[in-house]
Amino acid sequence: MEEHGATGAAAGYLTHMSSDDEDVHSSVPTTSPVFVTLTLIMSVVGTGLLSLPATMKCIGVLPGVGTLALVALLMIFTGELMLRCHLASPSHCDSYEALTKRCFAVSQSPYLAGREKWATQIVNLVNSLGIFGGCCAYMAIAKNTLPKLKYRLRLDDSLWFWSDYFVTGVLVTCISFPLCLKKNIASLRFSSVFGFCFSIYMIAIISFRGFGDILNGDAKWAEIECAHRGEFTSLVIAISVFNFSFVFHFNIIPLYTSLHPESRNPKTMRRIIIFTVIFCAFIYAAVAVSGFALYGAATQDNILNNFETNDDVVNTARIAIVACCYLCLPLLEHPLRGSMSAFLGLGNSKFNRIMLTFVLLVSQYCVSILIPSIETIFSLTGGTAVVGFCYVFPVLFALALLSNRYQESSRGLLEVPILMSQMNLSSPEKCICIAILVCLPIVGMMSTASQIAGTVPP
């Protein structure tokens, strides 16, 4: 099976996309459940882990692990809803746009009839904002990692051409911009594996050193220091950061359809989703706890910046993440440009492609240098767009498509033979859906408001 994504939080947008002209519904070679599981894990684990120790610093170990576990359970729930909505719908309901149109098609409300175009545009806009946030995060992480590398290489930071802003602009222009202009970026898929290997490397370094301090009794857990914000504000920001680290909903349907026919059933995919989220939650907790144990109140928003400049084991990881960020950026820019072209009604001419890519990269560069920390980008994206496509949209799809009335109207149209009773939402599930619709957007808005109001300094 071909893997189309970058690594980490924003990777899910890309599993089913490869070129402007390629049909995203086209068939892909079938593969085993083990490979699908590995691919899903690769799409989740990424650069979002860099801010987890700093997030743990502000809420403590036990509340942090508990919050991480809660977010993981909610992600499992909404991810499984996406799978069930796909199975309960006729052919080709394998994207957010298709599911949105199907919801409007079965709606009996006169207020919703004929408004599927507007709803689809809203869904596309929210998803585009999430991709935009992922692009900004890549630039910000690379910029944030440069100072230690420049110091190690003995580069004079006082010279304007070695400043973080100028170097970042040059690297974006010379590396990312030309790659973003390619119509087919399939050749860049190797960066997904590269980024994942970097993530595992960093997890090993931080966990080994952190748990060494824990076993030796040197853990700095007691040094919790977030005087600039209260406990509740720290909690809602932590939820948003954790949200950013668990994006995988875009991957579920493409990976499900890629399973071997004998393994392509809801039970197998449900197990894959559960295992993936639990595994990722475990390694996230290990990184967050061990990183916090190493540096306590001194933990920075990018844990790499806590390590010494002459630590060449970590410097290899610093070099890897900078390279990964600029190579993965085009993988996100590609679908973002396509979504924005469709949203704005632009053609696919070479001039439009160049100009739109240029405007997007300049906008992302400005955001990345103005945002004070990478945690701010993670929490802003995790509290806005991620809430939409990981919580709100799957729940709305489920409430519309997993009802008795819809199941009856769809009888005979389902792609797989599934008992209707197995597809319907139970009463407890409906209660959880309503709670998600009420609580998660409020938490996201509070986290976003805290960041925008400047309550969290750099």
Question: Does 2 fall in a domain?
Answer: no
Q: Which residues contact 414 (CB under 8 A, 6 or more apart)?
A: 87, 88, 89, 90
- pLDDT tens-digit profile of 326-371? 888 887 888 888 878 877 877 778 888 899 999 999 999 999 888 8
Residue 6 pLDDT level (bands cut at 50, 70, 90): very low
- pLDDT tens-digit profile of 121-147? 888 888 888 889 989 998 999 898 888
SS3 state of residue 249: helix
Other Cβ atoms closer than 10 A to 458: 9
Other Cβ atoms closer than 10 A to 39: 24
- Exposed, middle or buried by CB within 10 Å (0-12, 13-18, 19+), for 62? exposed
- 213 close to 293: Cβ distance less than 8 angstroms: yes
- 192 close to 330: Cβ distance less than 8 angstroms: no
Return left, alpha or beta for 429; rule: phi > 0 is left, psi -120 to 50 is alpha, else beta.
Answer: alpha
- Buried b or exposed e, range 107-121, using 16+ CB within 10 angstroms: eeeeebeeebeebbe
- Buried b or exposed e, range 69-98, using 16+ CB within 10 angstroms: eebbebbbbbbbbbbbbbbbbeeebbbbbb
Question: Does 3 fall in a domain?
Answer: no
> Where would I find the H helices in 371-416?
374-383, 385-387, 393-401, 404-409
Question: Quick check: 298 pLDDT over 70?
Answer: yes
SS3 state of residue 424: coil
Question: Does 6 fall in a domain?
Answer: no
Domains contained in the chain, number: 1
Specify the DSSP element, H or E, that contains 371.
none
Angle (nearest 5°) at CA 334 between 333 and 339 = 95
Residue 24 pLDDT level (bands cut at 50, 70, 90): very low
pTM, to two decimals = 0.84
What is the per-residue pLDDT for 404? 59
Range of the domain at 158: 11-452
Q: Which residues contact 200 (CB under 8 A, 6 or more apart)?
A: 45
What is the per-residue pLDDT for 67? 95
Distance between CA atoms of residues 444 and 387, nearest Å:
7
What is the per-residue pLDDT for 111? 63
- 86 close to 398: Cβ distance less than 8 angstroms: no
Lowest-pLDDT choice from 180-194, 202-216, 308-322: 180-194
Question: Does 398 fall in a domain?
Answer: yes
Tokens of 68: 């991480």
- 140 close to 374: Cβ distance less than 8 angstroms: yes
Distance between CA atoms of residues 22 and 329, nearest Å:
20
User: Which of 411, 100, 87, 103 shows the shortest CA–CA distance to 257?
Assistant: 87
- 352 close to 105: Cβ distance less than 8 angstroms: no
Residue 198 pLDDT level (bands cut at 50, 70, 90): confident
Question: Does 457 fall in a domain?
Answer: no
What is the per-residue pLDDT for 406? 54
What is the per-residue pLDDT for 91? 61
- pLDDT tens-digit profile of 247-269? 888 888 888 888 888 888 889 99
DSSP state string for 413-451: T-SS---HHHHSPPHHHHHHHHHHHHHHHHHHHHHHHHH
What is the per-residue pLDDT for 370? 86
> Where would I find the H helices in 158-265?
164-171, 177-180, 190-215, 231-244, 249-257
What is the per-residue pLDDT for 242? 94
Question: Does 54 fall in a domain?
Answer: yes
Question: Which CATH number characterizes residue 289's domain?
Answer: 1.20.1740.10
- pLDDT tens-digit profile of 399-452? 888 875 555 445 444 444 444 455 788 889 999 999 999 999 999 999 999 888
Place of tokens 């899910």: 12
Question: In DSSP terms, which residues pair with 31 in a beta bridge?
Answer: 259
- pLDDT tens-digit profile of 221-250? 766 667 567 788 889 999 999 999 998 888
What is the per-residue pLDDT for 17? 42
SS3 state of residue 184: strand
Question: Does 438 fall in a domain?
Answer: yes
Tokens of 329: 């950026």
DSSP state string for 202-225: HHHHHHHHHHHHHHTT---TT---
